[in-house]
């Protein structure tokens, strides 16, 4: 089951600027992600792609400007079940948890405090595991998974809440070609149902047919925002090597995830 969006614009920012310490990272960023749209963030090393995602989710403080999720300022946003987030090269704080337990944690934002998982929660968890082809490993500790399998577990966790917006930072990294194609097919079905997708990509690969627009960043500024072909002609894009900002704001929706290797 996929929920079709009937709400306001998923992502809007205007004049968004971010400084990590004394270093400006993003400068005067403006963008809008409409319902059902899939947009790729591209750019070279240090261009600010990961920092922009984190700023849009309230995980990095803004130095200037505004950012909104579904028409609500990110600092006041509370409907976190509507957002599925897969960070770059994420690792798990609770490595002893099973795959099923990790994926089920993606349902927490949909439940009241201390309310046990219900039938819908269990069905959504099972479906998310099936979508990423990990249902046969549901009871295996995540510490025993390969890097690609762990990445798929984090993607399943994001899908478990049946979100209206999926935000993914390098989701294809560490996945073989068949798994990449399978993930692109899953995201294609979500897109067809109205889900909005914002994704950082190193290589377009099987994601290319899904993309409506591209945003090219350079030195923390938007160099280009428009159709993909033109952006690819403008400049290449490389694997990001960007600093992680100090986590602030509403981090509760993503309690098990930390960037691999810590701050850098």
What is the per-residue pLDDT across 169-192, written as a single tens digit (0 to 9) for each?
988 877 788 888 888 888 888 888
DSSP per-residue codes, 178-242: HHHHHHHHHHHHHHHTT-EEEEE-SS-GGGGGG-SEEEEEETTEEEEEE-HHHHHHH--------
Q: What is the pLDDT of residue 96?
A: 79
pTM of the model as a whole: 0.78
Average pLDDT of the chain, as a whole number: 79
Average pLDDT over residues 9-13: 93
236 three-state secondary structure:
coil
Average pLDDT over residues 111-126: 76
Structure confidence at residue 33 as a pLDDT band (50, 70, 90): very high
For domain 11-92+163-259, the CATH superfamily is P-loop containing nucleotide triphosphate hydrolases (3.40.50.300)
Structure confidence at residue 242 as a pLDDT band (50, 70, 90): very low
> At residue 5, does pLDDT exceed 70?
no
Domain boundaries, the chain: 11-92+163-259
What is the per-residue pLDDT across 45-77, written as a single tens digit (0 to 9) for each?
788 999 999 999 999 999 999 999 999 999 999
């Amino acid at each position: 089951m996929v929920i079709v969006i009937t709400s306001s614009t998923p992502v809007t920012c205007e004049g968004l600027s971010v400084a990590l310490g004394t270093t400006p990272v993003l400068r005067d960023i403006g963008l809008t992600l409409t319902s059902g749209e899939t947009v790729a963030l591209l750019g070279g090393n240090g261009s600010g792609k990961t920092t922009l995602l984190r700023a849009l989710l309230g995980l990095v403080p803004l130095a200037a400007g505004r950012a909104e999720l579904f028409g609500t300022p990110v600092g006041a946003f509370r409907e976190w079940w509507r957002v599925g987030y897969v960070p770059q090269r994420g690792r798990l704080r609770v490595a002893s948890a099973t795959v099923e337990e990790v994926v089920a944690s993606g349902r927490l934002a949909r439940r009241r405090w201390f309310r046990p998982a219900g039938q819908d929660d269990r069905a959504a968890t099972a479906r998310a595991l099936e979508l990423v082809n990990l249902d046969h490993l549901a009871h295996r500790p995540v510490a025993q998974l390969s890097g690609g399998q762990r990445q798929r577990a984090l993607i399943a966790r994001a899908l478990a809440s049946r979100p209206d917006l999926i935000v993914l930072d390098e989701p294809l990294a560490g996945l073989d070609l068949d798994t990449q194609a399978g993930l692109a097919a899953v995201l294609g079905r979500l897109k067809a149902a109205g889900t909005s997708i914002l994704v950082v990509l190193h290589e377009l690969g099987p994601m290319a047919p899904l993309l409506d627009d591209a945003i090219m960043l350079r030195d923390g500024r938007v160099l280009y925002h428009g159709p993909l072909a033109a952006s690819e002609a403008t400049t290449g894009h490389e694997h990001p090597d960007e600093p992680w900002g100090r986590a602030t704001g509403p981090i509760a929706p993503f309690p098990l995830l930390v960037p691999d290797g810590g701050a850098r």
